[in-house]
Amino acid sequence: MLDDELGSVGDRPPDVVEVRPCSAEDLAELRSTWPIAADVAGRHFARQRSGAQTLMVAWQHGEAMGSVVIRWRSAELAEIGSRYPGVIEVAHLQVRSDHRRRGVGTCLMQAAERQVRLRKAPWIGLGVGVENPQAAALYEHLGYIRTGLVARSEYDFLDENGVQRHAIEWNECMIMDLR
* pTM, to two decimals: 0.85
Interval 110-139 mean pLDDT: 94
Distance CA 144, CA 36 (A): 28
Residue that wins the pLDDT comparison between 90 and 98 = 90
Complete domains list, the chain, with CATH: 3-177 (3.40.630.30)
- At 43-83, the pLDDT tens digits run 999 999 999 999 999 999 889 999 999 999 878 888 888 89
Predicted pLDDT at 131: 93
Q: Provide the sign of the torsion angle of the four alpha carbons 5, 99, 162, 42, taken in this order.
A: positive
In the chain, what percentage of residues exceed pLDDT 90? 63
